[in-house]
Structure 1
């Protein structure tokens, strides 16, 4: 497990005038792999950064609108994020195939790219499912959030903004994490970069986090069953988070025809970092 500061930082001005910011690791002419980070986490937190050079991967971590250094986009949707990535791809990433990774709350954004045909290959790692489509099986706290998002989206978004801060998010993550994940998150080589990335995620205020959370907890504008490109689903058997438990991974795998489900027995929610090389190798296999 290894994380390091970005090798390069960049921005692209989109056609509507907004700046979209990202960080990079690995060779600039490498295989492009785009990361949709977890909740309110900025571009500065990558994964597998000690492996990308050897694997020939250009890892690009993108700040979603309103987070980090990317300009806000009021009223944005999962589909509009996929449109932003399509524009970034045309302008910056070239004409080759693009792989997209979504971690935790970034999972729906990665799947939006797959559904829109922006990504030829996708990996969802400890990703959130479309909870608004569940008839039952959600914990009471999560169910109440989903119901509020459906009944009054503006009130839900405001409540997420009132909760949102780097410190409160850190407390939430550590509260629901098992000991194995806590050992990763609190390690001297990880915690400072992780917490810096969360602080940058809230640099413009809680609005970006609140919008992301509303989009995740609402009905998605695409059907995951319609995704036909390869999708790797990675979940840790030891993950105790109510929002990305291994049970949600199994449910999601059953609804995506092209899913390749990986349930890692000795991993928790931190498997994006503890199993980074395996995730990247599987995603970029040349025979896929």
Structure 2
């Protein structure tokens, strides 16, 4: 009798554990009972849809065409480079910017097969369907900066230039010295250390870990104030009101948690092995980093800049993670990328 009860309890525990670790299916936009579709979208090669938003001058009149890649927990509406550029600069230079919802965010269909390469190919297809021409610029912020590394790997032949703004680091990239990544890793809050361990070593537990109540989940997901620098806190009132419910309306797993799984999983390439995509100076790559960024350790960005001397590295004293929202920064970022201007901040 005891044996039978034990077996039943074990089966019940396994069933509970499986259900707890299995995320609910995504609430896809346009599906019965799902969120409404309000944005223009393109249909991709595999049938998925990608929602986008256009900014600046028309692409027919534009001299410079930029694809902006948003960060973690954001959407096509959170395009800092579009929001912070003055209309005068946009018109004078002839800048067209398109931002898009990455898969699972906003109104873009989830992609359970998402990889680093598929994200780069999504961007290439977006450019082609919008008629941006054979070459274009890419700019990525935070987790979107990680996507720019994938663009440099897989579609560099399509790029005129690229900018990475406070790009998120993967602590398991093999090009980093172990002692350096260990030092940087332990600069995070303990709960973020554990959240990233789960995302890297046991991604199938990512949903459960970040939704259970036994341990504190990712501080980034919870937007704990400790993760922001003094400058970040000052800049937050300037930011547009982010409708987080619409950002993750299709489900937190296919947006936030898959982002973590992709970003901190095992990569098939190491950014530090990349070669200069513009050996003849026909374009440029820029990396912008605040030295007081509490989400992305500056010591690792410094190491990348030494390993890849062809990248124009810009470290801004006193700046945090929201570097692009500081006064004058967006214009400096864009002019350095498009015109090769040196950084001059008042």
**TM-score, structure 2 length as denominator?**
0.71
Identify the residue that residue 3 of structure 1 maps to in structure 2.
Answer: none
Asked if the contact 1:131–1:146 (Cα under 8 Å) also holds between the matched residues in 2, the reply is: no
Structure 1 256/286 Cα, relative in aligned 2: closer, same or farther at 3 Å?
closer
Structure 1 249/173 Cα, relative in aligned 2: closer, same or farther at 3 Å?
farther
Identify the residue that residue 112 of structure 1 maps to in structure 2.
Answer: 150
The match for 1:228 among 276, 282, 285 is: 276
Asked if the contact 1:227–1:257 (Cα under 8 Å) also holds between the matched residues in 2, the reply is: no
Asked if the contact 1:161–1:209 (Cα under 8 Å) also holds between the matched residues in 2, the reply is: no
Question: 1:51-70 alignment to 2 at 5 Å?
Answer: 51=86, 52-70=90-108
Structure 1: distance between partners of 2:98 and 2:143? 17
Render the CA deviation track for 1:124-171: whole Å, top value 9, x for unaligned: 1111122112522211635444433333221135434669xxxx7575
Render the CA deviation track for 1:203-256: whole Å, top value 9, x for unaligned: 1110211111111111222221214233211011232x1x31322221222333
- How many angstroms does 1:270 deviate by? 1.3
Asked if the contact 1:36–1:102 (Cα under 8 Å) also holds between the matched residues in 2, the reply is: yes
Instruction: Tell me if 1:218 matches 2:265.
Output: yes
Question: 1:251-270 alignment to 2 at 5 Å?
Answer: 251-270=303-322
Asked if the contact 1:114–1:120 (Cα under 8 Å) also holds between the matched residues in 2, the reply is: no
2:159 is paired with a residue of what secondary structure? coil
2:80 is paired with a residue of what secondary structure? coil
Structure 2: distance between partners of 1:245 and 1:226? 21
Instruction: Tell me if 1:155 matches 2:179.
Output: no
Identify the residue that residue 248 of structure 1 maps to in structure 2.
Answer: 300
Structure 1: distance between partners of 2:166 and 2:291? 10
2:339 is paired with a residue of what secondary structure? coil
The match for 1:23 among 53, 56, 77 is: 53
Question: 1:2-17 alignment to 2 at 5 Å?
Answer: 9-17=39-47
Structure 2: distance between partners of 1:266 and 1:205? 36
1:129 is paired with a residue of what secondary structure? coil
Structure 1 132/112 Cα, relative in aligned 2: closer, same or farther at 3 Å?
same
Identify the residue that residue 228 of structure 2 maps to in structure 1.
Answer: 177
Name structure 2 gaps, 5 residues minimum: 1-37, 214-218, 278-283, 342-346
Structure 2: distance between partners of 1:27 and 1:33? 11
Structure 2: distance between partners of 1:281 and 1:17? 37
Identify the residue that residue 209 of structure 1 maps to in structure 2.
Answer: 256
Question: 1:83-98 alignment to 2 at 5 Å?
Answer: 83-98=121-136
Render the CA deviation track for 1:79-123: whole Å, top value 9, x for unaligned: 111111111122214324211111111111111011112433211
For these two proteins, the number of residue pairs brought into alignment is 269
Name structure 1 gaps, 5 residues minimum: 1-7
Question: Cα RMSD (Å) of the superposition?
Answer: 2.5
Identify the residue that residue 291 of structure 2 maps to in structure 1.
Answer: 237
**TM-score, structure 1 length as denominator?**
0.84
Structure 1 94/34 Cα, relative in aligned 2: closer, same or farther at 3 Å?
closer
Asked if the contact 1:232–1:261 (Cα under 8 Å) also holds between the matched residues in 2, the reply is: yes
Larger Rg: 2
